[in-house]
Amino acid sequence: MNRFLTPLTLLLLVAIASADAADRAPDQQPAAASPLGRFLLTAAEGIYIVEPDLSCSWSHTFPPPVKQTLTQYDDLIGDAWMLPSGHVLFAANRYVREIDRDHRTIWEYRVEGTAEVKTCVPLPNGRVAVLHSGKQAILELEAGTGKVLHRISLPAQGTDHTRYNLMRATPEGNYLVALRTENRFVEVTRDGAILHRFKVLSLPVVATRQPDGSTLCSARVEVTRFDAAGTKVWSFTRTDAAADFPLIIAAGTVVLPDQRIVVVNADWHYKEPHQNRVQLFAVDADKKVSWTLPASAFTGWKKSGMDPKTGLTEHRCMMIQLMK
């Protein structure tokens, strides 16, 4: 500190700095300490290993699509997993692929025609489950070859693009599937029986089974929890979030050890500047938001896309996975 500065000058400098921070755009505010530790971030254009200080130590990316053709949208990523081997398994619109940290393809399963396969689940038995929109089925693949070992028929309304969203397995070996056009999730057994249906208001994204038997569901305008009997017992909606930030699309979720829920706020097709200033947030059972990750945390390492209609930058985050 300059020893010639007077106390009054120091007070003026502090006031100016405070005013500058207050006037800074909402999405330029610095990120608070992350409760996530190390995590895998999945976004439409790439996959990133994010360190506790919110720096990126590894990434696998593709250029953002510039026009809507099958070829341009082949690499639009919807789902990804860090495997115990250190490899990364991910699903894009047109294929499921396993890669090593040097970005070499280990194996892949690719669909044909207009079909999509935008979600994947590594299973305890070593298989990989995918949702094939054209076949309207859950397919269990042999990892390493992509050979179909088991098929579960799951007819659904919609087109190849709008029929499904993401899928997750339950501890019992069932599947929780987002039926996008039908605005609901279903729990399906390996025999094809539907055990439960979970209705949401709009655009179901992903559902996960929790240790207490409840099911946590994310969708366009809400995160909801259904108890083991299928009754809605909790929700966090756009209205609940409005005082802090706009909830655009609730995507991936992670439940922390203290039971706070971290939610990915996917910013597809948002309408006004700074609406996407919060990319992730943590919320508790009382609907109190205790942490947010601003879009500015991605500066210097994350690619992004531009919505051709609005000209606004979209980060298009989808999922997170906690890592050791």
Q: Regarding beta strands 249-255 and 204-209, do their DSSP bridges make them parallel or antiparallel, or are they unpaired?
A: unpaired
For residue range 275-292, list pLDDT tens digits in order. 999 999 999 999 999 999
Please tell me the distance from the alpha carbon of residue 61 to that of residue 52, in angstroms, as a whole number: 21
Q: Is the distance from CB of 253 to CB of 259 less than 8 angstroms?
A: no
Please, which residues have CB within 8 angstroms of residue 88's CB and are 6 or more apart in sequence? 40, 47, 60, 80, 81, 82, 98, 99, 100, 101
Q: Residue 256: which of 278, 235, 236, 284 has the closest Cα?
A: 284
pLDDT at 9: 44
Determine contact, residues 320/262, Cβ cutoff 8 Å.
yes
**pLDDT value at position 2?**
43
From residue 110, how far is each of 1, 98, 146, 208, 320 by CA, in Å?
Answer: 62, 12, 9, 26, 24
Bridge partner list, 219 = 204, 222
Tell me the CATH architecture of domain 67-199: 7 Propeller (2.130)
pLDDT at 324: 86
pLDDT along the chain (324 residues), means of 10: 42 39 42 88 97 97 75 88 98 97 98 95 97 98 98 97 97 97 98 97 97 97 96 98 97 97 96 96 98 96 90 96 94
This prediction has a pTM of: 0.89
As beta bridge partners, residue 169 has 175
Q: Is the dihedral of CA 265, 271, 274, 275 positive or negative?
A: negative
Map residue 83 onto helix, strand or coil: coil
For residue 36, what pLDDT is reported?
96
Please list, in sequence order, all residues whose beta carbon lies within 8 angstroms of the beta carbon of residue 318, skipping any fewer than 6 positions away: 42, 43, 44, 77, 78, 79, 251, 252, 264, 266
The pLDDT of residue 33 is: 82
Per-residue confidence (pLDDT) for residue 19, from 0 to 100: 39
Rounded CA-CA distance 243/39 in Å is 28
Q: What is the pLDDT of residue 13?
A: 39
